[in-house]
A and B are shown apart, each in its own frame.
Chain A
Amino acid sequence: MSNEAVLHANVEGATAHDAHHDHGEHHEHHHHETFISKYVFSMDHKMIAKQFLITGMVWAILGGLMSVLFRLELGYPDTKFMFLQDILGKWWVQDGRITAQAYYALVTTHGTVLVFFVLTAGLSGTFANFLIPLQVGARDMASPFLNMLSYWFFFMASVVMLSSIFVETGPFSGGWTAYPPLSALRDASPGSGRGMDLWVIAMALFVVSSLLGGLNYIVTILNMRTKGMSMTRLPLTIWALFFTAVLGVLSFPVLLSGFILLIFDRNFGTSFYLSDIFVNGVGALPNEGGNAILFQHLFWFLGHPEVYIILLPAMGMVSEILSVNSRKPIFGYMAMVGSLFAIAILAFLVWAHHMFVTGLNPLLGSIFVLLTLLIAVPSAIKVFNWLTTLWRGNIRFTPAMMFAIGFVSLFISGGLTGIWLGNSALDIHLHDTMFVVAHFHIVMGVASMFGMFAGIYHWYPKMYGRYLNNTLGYIHFWVTMAGAYLIFWPMHYEGLAGMPRRYYSYSAWESFKQFGGLNQFISTVALIVFAVQILFLFNFFYSIWKGRKLTTQNPYGSNTLEWTTPIRPGHGNWTGEIPEVYRWAYDYAKDGREFIPQTTPVDPNETNH
C-alpha cells in the first residue's frame, strides 16, 4: 500500500473513531482546523512533537529546581534559608533547612522526572515524532490517533506525578529505582503511602505512553518510507530512533510486570518482594517468602536499556548534526548502524552490573563484567567515527554544532568511568557512592541533555520557521559545558573517597569534612548553570514569536528530506507528491559539490564512494 493510501485510510479510520465521541463536527477536512484540533488534540506529528517538547521542558525546569534545592542542603548545610520556608512551607523546610523527608522526596522525584519525563518523553518523544515522518518521507505516523494517545497518556502521567508533590505525606522518597521494601510497604516511610500510590500510577501511565509511541515509531520507519528510501539510505537519526523504540517496546513491558507485582504487594497482601520484615512502630510483618532482589532484576532489565533509550536519540542527532556542520559525510555509516545495533543487543545483557553487591553469585558477576565491558567496543567505534567526521571538516560552529561536539566530549568522559564501574571488584568500593552519580550524570544526564539541545538548536527553524538567537545560544553552551564538568568532575573524587550517595547529612563523618568547601562550590555552580537554562528558556519562547525569520527552505544545505518541505509545513508535510529518494543522506563534499540532497537523482558520471 502506498504512503498516500495509508495516510488516507488512517485519516478515515481515525475520524470514524472521532465520530463516536463528538458527533463528527470537525472530521470532514483537516484543512480548516479548530484551536482544539490543531493545538490540543492534534494528530499532526509535528504538533505532538512540540507538545512533548514543551511538557518535557516544564519538567526539566521543575526537576532542575528540585536539584538546586537539595544541592543547597548539601552545599550549605548550616545556612538558614528562611525565605524558602515561606515559599514551600514547613513540610519541606524547617528552621531554614530542607527537612530530611523533603530531601529524599526531592532526590527521588528529580531522578524519576529527569530520567523518564525529560530525557525519555521529552527527548525521544519530541524528536521521534518530529523527525521520523519528515526524514523517512511520510505524511504522518502510521497511526496518528495512537500517536495522539501517546502524548495524552504522558500528559496524564505528568499530572499524576505532579499531584504527588502536593499530598500531605509528600511524594515517594525511596529513590528513582523504587526498590522494595521502601516502595512496597506503606508504613516504611512517609512517602511510601499515598506518594508511592501516585508514583506507581504515573509510571504505569508513562509506560503505556512509551509503548504506544514506540509502536508507532517502529512501524512508521519500517513501513512508511518513501520511494527509494531503503534502510541503508536512512539518516542516522532515524536508525538511532528506531533502536530506541525497539529497546523501549521490549523493555518497558518488563518494568510494567515488576510494577504489577509491586502493586499487588502494596494493595492485595501478596509477598512477591517481602519477607521477614520488621517495621518500627508496627512490628513484625506477616509477609513470608518474598524476595526484594527480584524487583531489582525486573527493574534493571528495563533500567539498563532505559539509559540507552535516553542516549541513542542523542547519538543519532549528534551524528547528523556533526556531518551537516562539518560539510563531510559521516565517517563509517555502516559501522555507526552496526554499533547502534550492538549497543541495543548488549543493553539487554548487562543489567546485573547494577547489582554486583546484592549477593550476586561471583561467577555470574564476572560474566556480567565481561558483557558490560564489551559495550566499550561499539561505544569506542562511535566516538572514533565522530572524531574522524570532524577531522579536516569545514566546520561551522553553530550552537547546535557546539552542543554536538560537547556531547562527544561528555560521552568520552562518562564512558571511561563506566569501564571502572563495570569491573565488579572496583564496583564493590564504588557502588552507591558519588562516583556513580558523577558517572551517570556526565554520560547520560548531561550528554543526552546536550544531544537534546543540539537537536533543538538545529531543528528549531523547521519547528517554528524562525531561528533561535545565536549569541544567547553560545552563552548557554559555554556556561553549561563548563558548569557540567565543574559540577560533576569533583564528585568522582568524593566517590573514590567513599562518600555515599543519597545521604541527607554527612556531618557524622570526620572523613568527609574535607569536602565541605567542594560541596559548596558544586552547589554554587549548579545554581549558575540552572540560571543559564532560564536564559535558554527565554530564548526559546521569545524566538517563537520574535526570532529571525527563516527565509529559505534549506538553511544549512542539508541533504535530508525535512528540508524539502515548505518553510512552515502543514499537516501532511509536503504540498505535492512526497519526494522520491535516490541516494543516502550524506553526500557532502562529493565531486566538488558542497552537498547533494537525497532527492537528486544519481548522475551517471558521479563517482561511487
Chain B
Amino acid sequence: MMSTAASPERKRLHPHKFAMWVAMGAIIMMFAGLTSAYIVRSNQENWLEFSLPPVFWYSTIIILLSSLTMYLAVKAFKAREMPRYKILVTLTAILGLLFGASQFFGFFYLNGHGVQLLGQGSNPAASFIAVIAGLHILHVLGGVIALIVVFIRAYSSKIKRYNVTGIEIVSTYWHFVDILWIYLFIFFKLA
C-alpha cells in the first residue's frame, strides 16, 4: 500500500518563506506565553488597575499605515517601479521607527501618571505592559533592519536582482508584527 502510492512533485513554497512562517509560529508562542502569564497573574490579588496611554492609539494608526506602505512597496517592486519602491520602503522603515517612538511616549506617559513600569515599587500589571510591548518593539526594529538589508541588497549587486522572495518574506513579517500589535492592544484593553 505505502510502497505503491505515487506522489507527484508538488509546487512547493519557497523554503525560506516557509521558514518565516514557522518562525512566526515560534514568536506567537512566546507572546502567548507572556499574555497567558498576564492573565494568570491578573486574576490574583494586588493587581494595579490603570488605563492605557492614549498615544497607543496613534501607535496603532502608525503601524497600520506602515503595513499599507509595505504592501504598496511590494507592488511597486513587482512592477519594477524602483524609485517608487525606494520611497515606499524608506517610508515603511520610518513609520516603524515612529511606532517605536510613540510606544516610548506611552511608557513615559504612564510613568508620569504614577504608574511605575520598572524598578522598586513597580506593580507587575505595569511591568507586564513594559516587557510585552517592549519585546514587540524589538520585533518591529528587527523588521526595520530586515528592510534595510533587502533594500541594500537590491541595489548593491552589479546585476540588478528582481527576485521578490526577500522582500515578500520581509513584508509577511511586517504584516505579522502589525497584527501582533493589534492583538496585544486589544488584549491589554480587555484583559
Contact = CB atoms under 8 A, between A and B. Distances in A.
Interface of A: 1-2, 6, 13, 16, 142-143, 146, 211, 214-216, 218-220, 222-224, 227-230, 232-233, 249-254, 256-258, 260-261, 264, 268-272, 275, 286-291, 294, 297-298, 301, 333, 582-584, 587, 602, 606, 608-609
6 contacts: A216-B19, A251-B29, A270-B127, A286-B120, A583-B4, A608-B3
Most buried by A among B4, B46, B118, B122: B122
A249 B32 CA distance: 13
Interface in B107-158: 118-124, 127-128, 131, 135, 153, 157
By size class, the interface of chain B is: 35 or more
A522 B141 CA distance: 54
A268 B119 contact: yes
A143 B37 contact: no
A29 to B, nearest CB: 19
Given A230-B5, A333-B2, A257 B119 contact: no
Nearest to A271: B124
A298 B37 contact: yes
Contacts of B1: 608-609
Contact of A224 (B15, B30, B47, B131): B15
B41 A294 contact: yes
A286 to B, nearest CB: 5
Interface in B91-109: none
Interface of B: 1-7, 9, 12-16, 18-19, 22-23, 25-27, 29-34, 37, 40-41, 44-48, 118-124, 127-128, 131, 135, 153, 157
A253 B29 contact: yes
A249 B26 contact: yes
A254 B33 contact: yes
Contacts of A223: 12-13, 15, 18
Given A268-B119, A298-B37, A143 B124 contact: no
Contacts of A294: 37, 40-41
A254 B32 contact: yes
Contacts of B153: 16
A584 B2 contact: yes
Nearest to B14: A1
B30 A254 contact: yes
Given A142-B16, A253-B26, A286-B120, 14 more contacts: A16-B157, A215-B26, A220-B15, A233-B7, A264-B118, A268-B119, A269-B118, A271-B123, A286-B121, A289-B45, A289-B48, A301-B33, A582-B3, A608-B1
A227 B128 CA distance: 49
Contact of B19 (A219, A232, A286, A584): A219
Contacts of A272: 37, 41, 124, 127-128
Contacts of B25: 249-250
The 9 A-B pairs with the shortest beta carbon distances in the complex, nearest first, are A583-B3, A253-B30, A254-B33, A230-B7, A142-B15, A257-B33, A269-B119, A270-B127, A289-B46
